[in-house]
Structure 1
Amino acid sequence: MEQEKQKPSRLEDLNQYEIVVQRLLERGVNLEEIAEITYDLQKKYIPELTLEYCLIHVGKVVKKREVQHAVITGLELDILAEKGLLSEPLSSMLLNDYGLYGIDEVMALSIVNVYGSIGFTNFGYVDKLKPGIIGKLDEEGKLPGKCNTFLDDIVGAIAAAAASSIAHRFSK
C-alpha cells in the first residue's frame, strides 16, 4: 500500500511564514509598510482602527499557506529575472513589467480571493493608485537589472486581503 503523504503541520506553516517575512525584508518590504496601506484602505470606514490592528491582519494573511505559496513563487520569479536565469521572452517581459503580461495580477488575485469580492475591489484600487511601498517598488522595478513585477502586486494583494479581513470583522 502506498504511503500517504503527510500534510504540512501548523509548525511548518509558521516556519514558512518566517521565510516569507524574511524574503519580503530582503526585497525591501516589511509587514508594517503593508499594514499602512491596509490602514489607509479601511480608516474611513472604521474610525477606531489602529495601525497595530492592521498589522495583526496582515500577519494573519501571510500565515495562510496559499498566500505563502504565491509570495514565494512570485518573489522567486522576480529574482530569477534579475539574475538573467529565465529564457526569452519571459525574461524581458518580467524585467520590463510588460503591461499585457498579467500573470503577476492573476497571482495577486489568488491571494485576495481567499477573502472574497471585497478583496478584488481593494486590490484593483491599490494596483491603480500604487500607494506607499507599492509605488516605491513599482518605480524601483523600472531600474536596469531590477525586477519587482510580482512583488508590487503581491504587496498590494496582501494589503487588500488584510483590509478585507478587517472589513469582514467589522461588518454589520
Structure 2
Amino acid sequence: MSIHSKHIKSQEVEKAARERLEERGVPIYSIAEIVYQMQKPYNASLTLETCIESVDRVLEKREIQHAILVGVELDVLAEKNQLTEPLQSLIASDEGLFGVDETIALGAALGYGSIAVTTYGHLDKQKVGIIEKLDTKDGVQCHTFLDDIVGSIAANASSRIAHKLRDEEDGLPEEEVIQREQEHNF
C-alpha cells in the first residue's frame, strides 16, 4: 500500500485535532465560554454545559478537524523556525496583510451559515476570551492560525445554538429539531 492510499480513520483525526487544542492550551470549556458570551444575550436559559456540547459537536466535523491540524502544524513549524522564507517571517510575525489564517477560519465557518460568518468576523476583531490570549505575542508560542481557528469554532458553536433556539421558539417538536440539526450538519 502506498503512503498516498493509507486510510486514516475519522476517529483518529478527531482525536488528534482535540489533542492539538489541549496541547496548545485551548481546553474545550475556554471555547465554550466565548460561545456563552456570544449567545447569552439572545438565550436567557443558556448554560455553559449547552455551549460545551455545541463546541463538541462542531469538533466532530472533518473540515474543522482539518483546519485545526493544518493551522497548528504551521504555527508549530513557525515556532521552530522550520518554514522557508518569506513564509517563516509572515507566519511568525502574524503579518497584518497575511490573510491565509483568516481564510482557513472563515472557510471553516461557512458550513454553519451567515450567523457563524458574522460572529467569526466579530470575534476576529474583538479578540474575545482565550482568543485575546492566543493573539498576544509572547515571543515563545506562535498562534497565527490557532487564534482564528478558535474564533471559527466558537462562531460555529454559536450558530448551532442560535439555529436550534429558533427551531424551538417556532414550536417544532424535539424530534424535528434534532432532524434539522442533522440535516444541516449543525
Conserved 8 A contact 1:123-1:160 = yes
**TM-score, normalized by length of structure 2?**
0.84
- Is 1:40–2:40 an aligned residue pair? no
- Identity across matched positions, percent: 50
- Is 1:160–2:177 an aligned residue pair? no
CA–CA distance in structure 2, aligned partners of residues 6 and 165 of structure 1: 33
What does residue range 124-139 of structure 1 map to in structure 2 within 5 Å? 124-139=121-136
How much has 1:148 moved relative to structure 2?
0.4
Gaps of 5+ in 1: none
1:25-84 Cα shifts (integer Å, max 9, x gaps) = 111101100000001110010100100001101011011011101110000000011111
* 2:21 partner letter: L
CA–CA distance in structure 2, aligned partners of residues 27 and 144 of structure 1: 15
Alignment size in residue pairs:
163
**Match for residue 176 of structure 2?**
none
Q: Which of 137, 146, 150 is equivalent to 2:141?
A: 146
Q: Cα RMSD (Å) of the superposition?
A: 1.5
1:83-120 Cα shifts (integer Å, max 9, x gaps) = 11100111001110001001000000111111011111
**Match for residue 98 of structure 1?**
95
**TM-score, normalized by length of structure 1?**
0.90
Higher gyration radius (CA): 2
**Match for residue 116 of structure 1?**
113
